[in-house]
Amino acid sequence: MLNIDAIHLREINMPLAHPFETSFGMTTSRRILLIELESEGLTAWGECVAGEHPYFSEETIDTAWIITEAELGPRLLDADVERGGSCPKIFGQVRGHRMAKAALENAVWDLEAQVKRVSLSELLGGTRSVIPCGVSIGIQPSPAHLMDKIAAELAAGYQRIKLKCKPGWDTNIFEAVRNRWPDITLSCDANSVYRMKDLEDIAEWDRFNLLMIEQPLWWDDFYFHSLLQKRLETSVCLDESIRNRRDALAAIAMESCRIINIKVGRVGGFSEAIGVHNIAEERGIPVWCGGMLETGIGRSHNIALSSLPNFTLPGDVSASSRYWSQDIIEPAVTVSDKGEIAVPTAVGRGFEVQRDRIDALTVRRQTLHAKARVTA
């Protein structure tokens, strides 16, 4: 039994080292909800990946805060928590709010790993000692800026370049990049900006030999993606559309995609992420771990998840320094010149949380306490 004594919610504000632009907007600074669990002298952490605005999904940091405080936190404190995998049932009555649920559930897995004295990777069923890394490069002020960024990331060793795209920053950009780098592993991510009227234009991209086209159409769609996938040589990858195992089953059965991006926050926590991973693996669909501009806490959890066997494609899990001038963990996440991150073997998440640094960044906090336990 994991006796959780208190749940601390914190909002930290962290400026990004570089602005990040997608088809849904520009992010220059992040407001992040961190969860800290206290349990019999141990502390465990979770990070909520919801953004400031409901542009990627319906959730925001503010909805996550409210639902954690009013619903999820009290349920967790009242429940008999055996392990991280107990959380989906504990939260089951609450619909949606998957990023809020994931922050708590992942913290419980972090705690369970510490109690069992194993690494988080081992607890999740990881088998890799290193994970292959790619980068997601935002829309840039000019093609020249983009070329410089790509050159720098390739020089650093990253194994796959993903370009954020949107109408006006797509065919022309892929053309320019392929002219300079005909053979690199290249993909793109549209974050749901295209519509069926764009189908012929998207079909033209087959000539760029992209590893995948990520979430080209509506954020909640399977059917139109299946029509698009039938028209393409290139694999479609779904991100936003995949909320759970059933979505993965539906998308695979309908041939809406040939690759799945797993984001642990988007699917509601490690239990569901492992479930999606297993469903994809059994059906020959490769997966990779998406990123949400996480701090080192969420990043350490993504590294552990990426060590599962079917994470065969390079993920968007990259070095701390690409995001932050100073991360909130020690050591910072680094990537080797082969474009790999070593999976920690130490007990728990394998990175120390820098509480002083977090305190300095905190703008809001709230503590939920467990009721006094009756001990038999």
Kindly list the catalytic residues. 164, 263
Q: Choose one: 122-130, 276-284, 288-296, 368-376; the region binding ligand OSB (CB under 6 A).
A: 288-296
Q: Which of 125, 117, 121, 109 is CA-nearest to residue 2?
A: 109
The vertex-150 CA angle with 146 and 155, nearest 5°, equals 150
Helix (H, G, I), strand (E, B) or coil at 221: coil
For residue 241, the minimal CB distance to Mg ion (Å) is 10
Nearer to ligand OSB, 44 or 237 (CB): 237
For residue 92, the minimal CB distance to ligand OSB (Å) is 27
Q: How many residues does the chain have?
A: 376
Cα dihedral across residues 90, 94, 99, 104: positive or negative: negative
For residue 56, the minimal CB distance to Mg ion (Å) is 8
For residue 261, the minimal CB distance to ligand OSB (Å) is 7
Q: How many CB atoms lie within 10 A of CB 161?
A: 23
Size of the site for ligand OSB (CB under 6 A): 11
Give the residue nearest to Mg ion (CB): 239
Which structure tokens are listed for 228?
A: 């698009």
Which structure tokens are listed for 360?
A: 């300095």
Which structure tokens are listed for 143?
A: 């093609």
Please identify which residue in 38, 189, 247, 272 interacts with ligand OSB, judged by CB under 6 A.
Answer: 189
Residue 32 binding target from ligand OSB, Mg ion, none, CB below 5 to 8 Å by type: none
Q: What is the DSSP string of 51-70?
A: BSSTTSSS-BHHHHHHHIII
Q: Are 137 and 107 in contact (CB under 8 A)?
A: no
Q: How many CB atoms lie within 10 A of CB 74?
A: 15
Q: Is 290 in the site for ligand OSB (CB under 6 A)?
A: yes
Please identify which residue in 293, 308, 353, 361 interacts with ligand OSB, judged by CB under 6 A.
Answer: 293
81 sits in which H/E element: none
Residue 11 binding target from ligand OSB, Mg ion, none, CB below 5 to 8 Å by type: none
Q: Is 21 in the site for ligand OSB (CB under 6 A)?
A: no
For residue 226, the minimal CB distance to ligand OSB (Å) is 20
Q: Which burial class, exposed, middle or buried, applies to 101 when counting CB atoms under 10 A from its CB (0-12, 13-18, 19+)?
A: buried
Intra-chain end-to-end CA distance of the chain, in Å: 14
Which structure tokens are listed for 139?
A: 């829309």
Q: Is 47 in the site for ligand OSB (CB under 6 A)?
A: no
Q: Is 268 in the site for ligand OSB (CB under 6 A)?
A: no
Which structure tokens are listed for 231?
A: 């028209």
Please identify which residue in 21, 32, 48, 56 interacts with ligand OSB, judged by CB under 6 A.
Answer: 56
Q: Is 291 in the site for ligand OSB (CB under 6 A)?
A: yes
Q: Is 316 in the site for ligand OSB (CB under 6 A)?
A: yes
> What x/- string results for residues 125 through 164 when contact with ligand OSB is judged by CB under 6 A?
-----------x----------------------------
163 vs 174: CA distance, rounded Å: 9
Q: Choose one: 113-121, 228-236, 287-295, 336-344; the region binding ligand OSB (CB under 6 A).
A: 287-295
Residue 291 binding target from ligand OSB, Mg ion, none, CB below 5 to 8 Å by type: ligand OSB
Nearer to ligand OSB, 136 or 300 (CB): 136
For residue 291, the minimal CB distance to ligand OSB (Å) is 2
The shares of helix, strand and coil residues in the chain, as percent rounded to the nearest 5, are: 40, 25, 40
Q: Are 101 and 94 in contact (CB under 8 A)?
A: yes
- Chain residues in the site for Mg ion (CB under 5 A): 189, 214, 239
Q: Is 191 in the site for ligand OSB (CB under 6 A)?
A: yes
For residue 114, the minimal CB distance to ligand OSB (Å) is 26
Q: Which of 75, 25, 83 is CA-nearest to residue 54?
A: 25
Site of interaction with ligand OSB (CB under 6 A): 56, 136, 189, 191, 239, 290-293, 316, 318
